[in-house]
Structure 1
Amino acid sequence: MHIVAKEFSSFNEITVYDTNQLYGEMGKFRCLQFTDDAIQGAIDLKNPKRIVLAYHRAVIHLMMLNNPLFEKVFVIGHGIGTIAGHYTDKQFTVAEIDGKVVELSKLYFRYPINNVVVGDGREILRYSEQSSFDYIILDAFTHKGTPLHLTSMEFFEMTLAKLNTRGAIIMNLMGKAKDDRFINAIHTTLRKSYLYIKAFTQQSEDETDIRNIIVIGSNKMFDFQVRDMAGFFEIELGQGHIIRDNGKAKSNVFCGEG
Structure 2
Amino acid sequence: MVYDAAQLYGEMGKYRCMQFADDAIQGAIDLKDPKRIVLKYQRAIIHLMEFNDPSFDNVFVIGHGIGTIANHYPDKRFTVAEIDERVVELSKRFFGYRKDNVVVGDGREILRKEQSKAFHYIILDAFTNRGTPLHLTSLEFFEMTLDKLDSRGAIIMNLMGKPKNDRLINAIHTTLRETYAYIMAFSLPATDEIDIRNIIVMGSNKTIDFQARDMAGFYEIELEQGHLIMDSDPRTE
Taking structure 2 as the reference length, what is the TM-score of the superposition? 0.98
Q: Which letter does structure 2 place at the counterpart of 1:212?
A: N
Deviations 1:29-62 (A, max 9, x none): 0000011110000000000000000000000000
Shift in Å, 1:112: 1.4
Residue in structure 1 matched with residue 158 of structure 2 by the alignment: 172
Which runs of structure 1 show a deviation greater than 4 angstroms over 4 or more consecutive aligned residues? none
Q: Residues 242 and 248 (structure 1 numbering): CA distance in 2 closer, same or farther, change over 3 Å?
A: farther
Residue in structure 2 matched with residue 46 of structure 1 by the alignment: 32
Q: Distance in 2 between matches of 1:23 and 1:237?
A: 26
2:69 matched to 1:86?
A: no
Q: Distance in 1 between matches of 2:118 and 2:233?
A: 29
Residue in structure 2 matched with residue 3 of structure 1 by the alignment: none
Q: Which letter does structure 1 place at the counterpart of 2:190?
A: S
Give the CA RMSD over aligned residues. Answer: 0.8
The DSSP-based 3-state class of the residue aligned with 1:156 is helix
Q: Counterparts in 2 of 1:136-215, with a 5 A limit?
A: 136-215=122-201
The DSSP-based 3-state class of the residue aligned with 2:44 is helix
Q: Larger relative CO (CA 8 A, sep 6+): 1 or 2?
A: 2
Deviations 1:90-136 (A, max 9, x none): 00000000000000000000011000000000000000000010000
Q: Distance in 2 between matches of 1:222 and 1:166?
A: 10
Q: Distance in 2 between matches of 1:89 and 1:37?
A: 33
Q: Distance in 2 between matches of 1:88 and 1:127?
A: 24
Q: Which letter does structure 1 place at the counterpart of 2:51?
A: L
Residue in structure 2 matched with residue 8 of structure 1 by the alignment: none
Taking structure 1 as the reference length, what is the TM-score of the superposition? 0.90
The DSSP-based 3-state class of the residue aligned with 1:56 is helix
Q: Counterparts in 2 of 1:42-121, with a 5 A limit?
A: 42-121=28-107
The DSSP-based 3-state class of the residue aligned with 1:207 is coil
Residue in structure 2 matched with residue 242 of structure 1 by the alignment: 228
Q: Which letter does structure 1 place at the counterpart of 2:39?
A: L
Structure 1 residues without counterparts, runs of 5 or longer:
1-14, 250-258
The DSSP-based 3-state class of the residue aligned with 1:145 is coil
Residue in structure 2 matched with residue 11 of structure 1 by the alignment: none
Identity of aligned residues (%): 72
Would the aligned equivalents of 2:184 and 2:208 in 1 still touch at CA under 8 Å? Answer: no
Deviations 1:169-211 (A, max 9, x none): 0000001111000000000000000000000011111010000
Residue in structure 2 matched with residue 221 of structure 1 by the alignment: 207
Q: Distance in 1 between matches of 2:206 and 2:109?
A: 26
How many aligned positions are there?
235
Q: Distance in 2 between matches of 1:248 and 1:218?
A: 28
Structure 2 residues without counterparts, runs of 5 or longer:
none
The DSSP-based 3-state class of the residue aligned with 1:171 is strand
Shift in Å, 1:248: 6.7
Would the aligned equivalents of 2:18 and 2:25 in 1 still touch at CA under 8 Å? Answer: yes
Would the aligned equivalents of 2:59 and 2:79 in 1 still touch at CA under 8 Å? Answer: yes
2:117 matched to 1:126?
A: no
